[in-house]
């Protein structure tokens, strides 16, 4: 039988011990969100300082603020140029890529009801890799010039998603079928990419391999507005479905009985998140770890409410990616290790620690 719950009188009315515990939990959720936002701001300042030119953390922030309020601080022109034109765009790119992959991993896991779902496991990244292979080896792309590789990566990432979404929309496929289809697509495009690698010359091979390892060097100020527009439209559309995603983790039957049209939500979320993923991977290459693990980290700390989980997954994704990129660039400078490699090297031990020692061992039911 349930124990008697102690009540505590307050001016606002009687709050039970459990209600107070719940209030504390909600407060802790907001606090955690503030902490990870603060973490990304601090991390930005710290990582800007890493590099051949000595810049202090304070100078880094001054240089950034100076861009928005010119003349407010005295900043050396060289420092300002290095911070604004070289180091900060890469960090912003890392934040956006981590945000996009984290958010998309989170919503994909929810609609597919599978903790293994991520842009990588669904074959979207391998589709993009195949697009890169075609552009690199055959020189065929939907776009030319500097967007030769990016254009193809975007197209094939979207094609891959459309195939999986088409299955859901037309055949009413279950989440299990979609995961299997994603894995099959992953194998297919990986095999096709390998085939191209087999016939590629050294330069083409280097291009394909470096893209496959994941890298943030493609980000520059000219590309960031495009990503911001896509994110500005897509991420609010995903956030609007936060309640429905909470319910869909209980299964389609329960979702329907509570008023959620599970099939429509699944197609909507997959479509929107695919656009985000395609936009990210076409610039960064394959960074497989973030989309899978950032949502799990957030879930272990925040519980299952997607109103908190979606933004937290995105911000945690950004924190991990930016931190990993900072280490990748500086650990054996001047050699820059590909970001995708360092993300897994740093992130996996941290994730294993959380999984084994975390408070919420039972976060996968």
Partner 1 sequence: MMIQLQAKGIEFGYNSSMILKDISFEIGPSRLVTIVGPNGSGKSTLIKCIDRILSPKSGSILIDRKDVTKMDRMEIAKNLSYVPQSSARTFSSNVFDTVLMGRRPHIGWLSSSDDEEKVWEVLRLLGIEDLAMSGFGELSGGQQQKVLIARALVQETKVMLLDEPTSNLDIWHQLDVMNIVSDLVRKRRMTALIALHDLNLASKYSHGIIMMKKGKIMAAGDPASVLTPENIEAIYNVEVAVRSQSEAPFIVPVKQIKMNGNHHNHNGKFFSNGKRRCGLPRSLSEIKEIRLS
Which positions lie near partner 1, rule CB under 8 A?
A: 1-3, 5, 16, 18-19, 21-22, 25, 109-110, 113-115, 240, 242-244, 246-247, 249-251, 253-254, 256-261, 299, 303-305, 307, 360, 362-365
Q: Are 47 and 98 in contact (CB under 8 A)?
A: no
Q: How far is the CB of 3 from partner 1 (least distance, A)?
A: 5
C-beta separation of 301 from 36 below 8 A: no
Can you tell me whether residue 280 is helix, strand or coil? helix
Nearer to partner 1, 7 or 197 (CB): 7
Of 258 and 352, nearer to partner 1 (C-beta) is 258
The pair of structure tokens assigned to 215 is 């890298």
Nearer Cβ to partner 1, position 21 or 31?
21
Of residues 356 and 365, the one with the C-beta less far from partner 1? 365
Task: Name the minimum Å distance from CB 351 to partner 1.
Answer: 16
Distance CA 178, CA 172 (A): 10
Integer Cα distance of 256 and 274 in angstroms:
24
**Residue 51 C-beta: closest distance to partner 1, Å:** 40
Q: DSSP per residue over 290-302, as a string? A: HHHHHHHHHHHHH
Q: Tell me how far, at minimum, the Cβ of 24 lies from partner 1, in Å.
A: 9
From residue 218, how far is each of 89, 146, 282, 316 by CA, in Å? 10, 10, 9, 22
The Cα 339–Cα 318 span in angstroms is 13
9 phi/psi in degrees, rounded to 5: -80, 135
Residue 331 C-beta: closest distance to partner 1, Å: 35
Nearer to partner 1, 10 or 261 (CB): 261
Q: Give the shortest CB-306-to-partner 1 separation in angstroms.
A: 10
* Residue placing its CB nearer to partner 1 in the complex, 250 or 330: 250
CB 64 within 8 A of CB 49: no
Residues 174-184: b if buried by 16+ CB within 10 A, e if exposed:
ebeebbebbee
- Which 3 state secondary structure label does DSSP give 331? coil
Largest Cα span, the chain: 77
Nearer to partner 1 by Cβ, of 22 and 206: the residue is: 22
Q: Compute the least distance from the CB of residue 108 to partner 1, in Å.
A: 12
d(CA 311, CA 328): 25
Given the complex with partner 1, which of 117 and 134 has the nearer CB atom? 117
Cα distances (angstroms) measured from residue 363 to each of 108, 249, 358: 17, 12, 10
Of the CA atoms within 13 Å of residue 165, those in its CB half-sphere come to: 20
Least distance CB 312 / partner 1 (angstroms): 14
4 or 335: CB nearest partner 1:
4
Q: How far is CA 327 from CA 23, 92, 99, 158, in A?
A: 38, 16, 19, 31
Tell me whether residue 139 is exposed, middle or buried, using C-beta atoms within 10 angstroms of its C-beta: 0 to 12, 13 to 18, 19 or more: exposed
Give the nearest distance from C-beta 241 to partner 1 in angstroms.
Answer: 10
Q: Which is nearer to partner 1, 81 or 171 (CB)?
A: 171
User: To the nearest whole angstrom, how small is the minimum distance from the Cβ of residue 300 to partner 1?
Assistant: 10
């Amino acid at each position: 039988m349930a124990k008697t719950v102690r009540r505590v009188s307050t001016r606002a009315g009687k709050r039970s011990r459990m209600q107070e515990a719940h209030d504390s939990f909600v407060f802790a959720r907001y606090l955690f969100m503030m902490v990870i936002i603060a973490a990304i701001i601090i991390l930005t300042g710290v990582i800007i300082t890493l590099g051949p030119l000595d810049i202090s953390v304070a100078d880094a922030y001054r240089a950034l603020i100076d861009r928005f309020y010119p003349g407010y601080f005295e900043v050396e022109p060289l420092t300002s140029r290095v911070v604004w034109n070289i180091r900060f765009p890469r960090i912003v790119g890392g934040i956006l890529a981590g945000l996009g992959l984290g958010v998309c991993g989170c919503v994909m896991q929810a609609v597919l009801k599978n903790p293994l779902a991520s842009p990588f496991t669904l074959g979207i990244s391998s589709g993009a890799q195949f697009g890169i292979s075609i552009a690199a080896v055959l020189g065929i792309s939907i776009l030319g010039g500097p967007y030769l590789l990016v254009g193809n990566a975007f197209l094939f990432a979207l094609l891959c998603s459309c195939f999986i979404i088409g299955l859901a929309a037309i055949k009413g496929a279950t989440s299990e079928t979609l995961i299997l289809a994603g894995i099959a697509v992953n194998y297919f495009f990986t095999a096709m990419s390998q085939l191209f690698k087999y016939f590629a010359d050294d330069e083409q091979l280097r291009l394909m391999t470096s893209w496959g390892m994941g890298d943030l060097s493609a980000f520059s100020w000219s590309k960031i507005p495009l990503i911001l527009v896509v994110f500005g439209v897509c991420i609010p559309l995903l956030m609007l479905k936060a309640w429905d995603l909470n319910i869909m983790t209980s299964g389609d039957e329960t979702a329907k009985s509570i008023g959620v049209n599970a099939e429509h939500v699944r197609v909507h979320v997959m479509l929107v998140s695919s656009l985000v993923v395609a936009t990210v991977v076409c610039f960064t290459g394959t960074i497989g770890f973030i989309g899978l693990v950032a949502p799990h980290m957030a879930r272990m700390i925040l519980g299952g409410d997607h109103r908190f989980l979606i933004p937290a997954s995105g911000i945690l994704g950004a924190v991990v990616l930016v931190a990993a990129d900072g280490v990748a660039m500086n650990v054996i400078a001047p050699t820059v290790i590909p970001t995708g490699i360092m993300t897994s090297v740093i992130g996996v031990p941290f994730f294993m620690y959380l999984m084994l020692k975390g408070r919420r061992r039972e976060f996968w039911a």
